[in-house]
């Protein structure tokens, strides 16, 4: 039979060659890649009485599908490989985590190329605004993934909306609807098995598609709130694992995109300087030359966007310098000053 996961084998193998670490998402909330709706379709085909796609989070059989050896959908897998965030839509955990890569001969769960497993891309359970259904699912699946693979990090894949457990923080939500989707940033991350927090940033989707400085103001306050909560309540890093802006937005221009990216990067660096919980950010999304036909509006082709490429390069350089400084201090202690410390202060334009 056809082995769909050979394509993922290749992606992991190539990432390994270039020392790139991958966050692999184990399913999707949205229909585009199959996602939870596909599990419900399988359940209905098996005669289950299902009334909502949100049954994915509560029905014992559907939860067993998530855990069990379910063969991957060829179409879903190859569609997901077109994107930088690899989403294994109908990939069950034992199949993926225990798979031996046909190119490297390394079991996925033993491969350091995998940085983390993501439980689900942007989970929502709108049928239960209290958040209890999704909370139970996160707890169960985080522990399950860890039981299969205790070596790798696990994160949820949340957009980062605040919920009922933190009424004082809902002011940072982009809209009132965000409180009704069944997610709860602080509560969701206070479970066993989750190693770092995740949040996304899409002001143009959540507030208004029309470009304005409000997007920049929201982005900064949204990030600072999550960084503060990760430090104060969670005791873990927070990674802003998706952020971007669509070229289809009214009033869009590449200069505004550069400003938005710079806002995200500066907020991360401000946290890094203080030893804060800002753990990083992942841009949605970089495309190689010749793949423009797949552009969903968020694509950045670096060869066609030199100013954006320069911002990304400078940010990468700057973080590398900070990491070098941190590694030295962690190894040798903080009583002596490392030469790079003065360099960072003198050349702050990096």
Supply the residues annotated as catalytic: 122, 242
Q: Compute the distance between CA of residue 227 and CA of residue 198 in angstroms, rounded to an integer.
A: 10
Q: Which residues pair with 107 in a beta bridge?
A: 100
Backbone Cα Rg of the chain: 21
Residue carrying the six token digits 């602080």: 186
Q: Two tokens at 299?
A: 């694509």
- With beta carbons less than 8 A apart as the criterion, state whether 188 and 209 touch: no
Residue 338 DSSP one-character state:
P
Q: Which residues pair with 281 in a beta bridge?
A: 240
User: Pick from 318, 316, 290, 319: which is nearest to 303 by CA?
Assistant: 290
Would strands 278-283 and 286-287 be described as parallel, antiparallel, or unpaired?
A: unpaired
Residue 319 DSSP one-character state:
H
Q: Compute the distance between CA of residue 259 and CA of residue 141 in angstroms, rounded to an integer.
A: 38
Q: Compute the distance between CA of residue 252 and CA of residue 84 in angstroms, rounded to an integer.
A: 23
Q: Compute the distance between CA of residue 148 and CA of residue 140 in angstroms, rounded to an integer.
A: 13
Considering Cα of 139, then 144, then 147, then 153, what sign does the dihedral take? negative
User: Pick from 63, 31, 41: which is nearest to 134 by CA?
Assistant: 63
């Amino acid at each position: 039979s056809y082995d769909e996961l050979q394509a993922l084998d290749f992606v992991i193998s190539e990432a390994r060659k270039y020392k790139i670490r991958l966050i692999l998402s184990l399913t999707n909330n949205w229909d585009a890649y199959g996602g939870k709706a596909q599990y419900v379709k399988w359940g209905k085909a098996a005669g289950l009485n299902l009334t909502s796609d949100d049954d994915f989070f509560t029905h014992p059989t559907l939860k067993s599908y998530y855990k069990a050896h379910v063969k991957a959908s060829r179409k879903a897998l190859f569609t997901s490989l077109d994107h930088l965030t690899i989403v294994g839509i109908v990939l069950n955990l034992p199949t993926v985590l225990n798979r031996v890569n046909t190119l490297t001969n390394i079991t996925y769960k033993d491969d350091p190329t995998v940085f983390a497993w993501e439980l689900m891309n942007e989970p929502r359970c709108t049928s239960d605004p209290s958040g209890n259904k999704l909370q139970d699912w996160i707890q169960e699946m985080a522990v399950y993934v860890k039981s299969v693979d205790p070596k790798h990090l696990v994160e949820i894949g949340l957009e980062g909306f605040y919920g009922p457990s933190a009424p004082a923080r809902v002011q940072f939500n982009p809209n009132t609807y965000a409180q009704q989707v069944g997610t709860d940033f602080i509560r969701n991350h206070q479970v066993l098995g989750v190693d770092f927090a995740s949040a996304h940033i899409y002001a143009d989707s959540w507030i208004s598609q029309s470009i304005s400085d409000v997007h920049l103001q929201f982005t900064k306050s949204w990030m600072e709130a999550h960084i503060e909560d990760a430090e104060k309540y969670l005791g873990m890093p927070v990674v802003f694992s998706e952020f971007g802006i669509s070229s289809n937005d009214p009033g869009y221009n590449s200069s505004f995109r550069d400003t938005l990216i710079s806002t995200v990067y500066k907020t991360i660096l401000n946290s890094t300087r203080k030893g804060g919980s800002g753990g990083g950010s992942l841009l949605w999304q970089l495309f190689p030359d010749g793949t423009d036909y797949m552009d969903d509006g968020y694509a950045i082709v670096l060869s066609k966007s030199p100013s954006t490429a320069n911002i990304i390069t400078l940010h990468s350089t700057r973080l590398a310098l900070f990491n070098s400084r941190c590694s030295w201090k962690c190894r040798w202690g903080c009583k002596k000053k490392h030469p790079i410390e003065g360099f960072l202060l003198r050349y702050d334009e990096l």
